């Protein structure tokens, strides 16, 4: 099988800098690593191909020779034969991808404990649904939820009677054990201490050595005015307590807003539809409209109002950040479906007076949006 161009293998341009080459190789190495694809010969070959390309293009001397003479330029320089030389700086190459590699090779994922086992507690999520008006004008909501709190009996240490902890004999306190896989050296959490670096000889009877207990609590959450559906309110330090005396996580309250019967919102503006009669549209009128906060405002309908037109009422929208949006009213002209005898007579008389024709001339749709 003919070799592919090294730049093509890594998916980079010939003017790619070293960091771009390294990033491209990282992506391919993670995707096709043999430990992630056991028994998959195709993935193994792609991994070797990418490694060979990286070995050459990451070395300035080899890259220069390859750019000038192609594969022939690196044949005597070890290109494509000694994969291990590409990994002289393994920690630099994959250091910030350690979390991804942990997930491949048995790591626990999530937040890493510092040496000694202290780590921040988990963040928690709570979903609530509030009425439309409460989202617009703000409110306070009491919620009840379960969270981990530091065990009072052992003060979060997990050890009974102040016995304390001792360094894990399996990992010597590092929290990690390493195993070799070809030219890779893979670190994973120590199974004896779960990556914490210490063990508890006499666990606390109250919390079983965890250092935390699940409890329910009530708190009041302030919902700011103008909050939109899907947004969240963050309550600091109200998540789970951190193991071994670590800091608490945060509580994320996600907001769901119930639809309103009459109003819809777009940013800080409110929209509604208002039905009026044919005569109100033709002659003009003054009508009263209830706003979202319960006020009644007078709205003037100008004579000759057309169906679908918008009226704008300033400062009757949603308040937020020291300003307030507007209220937009879409006018819906309702044509009567049933007329009294007298009403029909009047409409017929109006038709004659106005000289309505039986065959009106069509107009372009664009004309409907004018004026």
Which sequence spans correspond to the domains of the chain?
A: 6-104, 264-369
Q: What is the model's pLDDT at position 96?
A: 42
From the candidate CATH numbers 3.10.20.30, 3.40.50.620, 2.60.120.10, 2.60.260.20, the one assigned to the domain spanning 264-369:
2.60.260.20
Do 264-369 and 6-104 have the same topology in CATH?
A: no
Strands 176-181 and 184-189: antiparallel
* Average confidence (pLDDT) over 19-28: 89
Dump strand ranges (E) for the chain: 124-130, 139-150, 166-167, 176-181, 184-189, 198-199, 212-223, 232-235, 251-257, 264-266, 269-277, 285-290, 296-301, 310-313, 319-320, 323-324, 327-334
pLDDT at 85 over 50: no
Q: Which residue has the higher pLDDT, 365 or 217?
A: 217
Could you tell me which residues come within 8 angstroms of residue 23 by beta carbon, excluding any fewer than 6 positions away?
Answer: none
pLDDT at 161 over 80: no
Burial class (CB within 10 angstroms; exposed 0-12, middle 13-18, buried 19+) of 327:
buried
Task: Find residue 150's DSSP bridge partners.
Answer: 212
Least confident piece of the model among 45-54, 121-130, 195-204, 222-231: 195-204
For residue 89, name the pLDDT band (cuts at 50, 70, 90): very low
Q: Which residue has the higher pLDDT, 19 or 108?
A: 19
* Average confidence (pLDDT) over 149-172: 79
Mean pLDDT of the chain: 81
pLDDT at 365 over 60: yes
* Average confidence (pLDDT) over 212-218: 90
* Average confidence (pLDDT) over 66-85: 63
Q: Is the dihedral of CA 89, 91, 93, 94 positive or negative?
A: positive
pLDDT at 356 over 60: yes
* Average confidence (pLDDT) over 31-46: 81
Q: What is the model's pLDDT at position 130?
A: 96
pLDDT at 95 over 60: no
For residue 31, name the pLDDT band (cuts at 50, 70, 90): confident
For residue 310, name the pLDDT band (cuts at 50, 70, 90): very high
For residue 184, name the pLDDT band (cuts at 50, 70, 90): low
Q: What is the model's pLDDT at position 103?
A: 40
Most confident of 79-88, 126-135, 314-323: 126-135
Burial class (CB within 10 angstroms; exposed 0-12, middle 13-18, buried 19+) of 323:
exposed
Cα gap 12→23, rounded to integer Å:
10
Least confident piece of the model among 222-226, 247-251, 355-359: 355-359
Q: Which residue has the higher pLDDT, 79 or 7?
A: 7
* Average confidence (pLDDT) over 181-186: 61
Paired tokens of 77:
């320089």
Q: What is the model's pLDDT at position 185?
A: 65
Q: What is the model's pLDDT at position 350?
A: 84
pLDDT at 93 over 70: no
pLDDT at 341 over 50: yes
For residue 19, name the pLDDT band (cuts at 50, 70, 90): confident
pLDDT, tens digit, 9 for 90 and up, residues 118-159: 678 889 999 999 999 999 999 999 999 999 888 888 877 778
pLDDT at 76 over 80: no
Which class would CATH give 6-104? Answer: mainly alpha
pLDDT at 263 over 80: yes
* Average confidence (pLDDT) over 85-89: 40
Could you tell me which residues come within 8 angstroms of residue 120 by beta carbon, excluding any fewer than 6 positions away?
Answer: 111, 242, 246, 247, 248, 249
Percent of the chain predicted with pLDDT > 90: 36
């Amino acid at each position: 099988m003919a070799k592919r161009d090294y730049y093509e293998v890594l998916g980079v341009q010939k003017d790619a800098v070293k960091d771009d080459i390294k990033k491209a190789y990282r992506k391919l190495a993670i995707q096709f690593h043999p430990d992630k694809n056991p028994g998959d010969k195709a993935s193994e070959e792609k991994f070797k191909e990418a490694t060979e390309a990286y070995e050459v293009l990451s070395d300035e001397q080899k890259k220069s020779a390859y750019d000038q003479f192609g594969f022939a330029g690196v044949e005597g320089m070890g290109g494509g034969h000694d994969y291990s030389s590409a990994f002289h700086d393994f920690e630099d190459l994959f250091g910030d991808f350690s979390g991804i590699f942990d997930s491949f090779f048995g790591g626990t994922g999530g937040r890493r404990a510092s040496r000694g086992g202290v780590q921040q507690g988990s963040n928690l999520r709570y979903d609530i649904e509030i009425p439309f008006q409460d989202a617009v004008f703000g409110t306070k909501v009491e919620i009840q939820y379960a969270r981990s709190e530091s065990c009072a009996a052992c003060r979060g240490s997990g050890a009974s009677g102040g016995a304390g902890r001792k360094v894990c004999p399996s990992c010597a306190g590092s929290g990690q054990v390493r195993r070799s896989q070809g030219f890779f050296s893979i670190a994973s959490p120590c199974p004896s201490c779960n990556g914490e670096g210490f063990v508890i000889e006499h666990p606390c009877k109250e919390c079983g050595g965890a250092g935390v207990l699940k409890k329910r609590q009530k708190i009041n959450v302030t919902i700011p005015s103008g909050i939109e559906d899907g947004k969240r309110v963050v309550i600091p330090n109200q998540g789970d307590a951190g193991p071994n005396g670590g800091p608490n996580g945060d509580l994320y309250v996600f907001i769901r807003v119930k639809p309103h019967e009459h109003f819809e919102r777009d940013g800080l503006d409110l929209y509604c539809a208002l039905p009026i009669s044919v005569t109100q549209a033709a002659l003009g009128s003054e009508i009263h409209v209830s706003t979202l906060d319960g006020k009644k405002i007078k709205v003037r309908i100008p004579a000759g109002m057309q169906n679908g037109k918008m009226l704008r009422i300033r400062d009757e929208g949603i308040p937020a950040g020291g300003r307030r949006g507007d209220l937009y009213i879409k006018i819906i002209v309702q044509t009567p479906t049933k007329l009294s005898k007298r009403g029909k007579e009047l409409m017929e008389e109006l038709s004659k007076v106005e000289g309505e024709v039986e065959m009106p001339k069509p107009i372009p749709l664009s004309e409907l949006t004018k004026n």
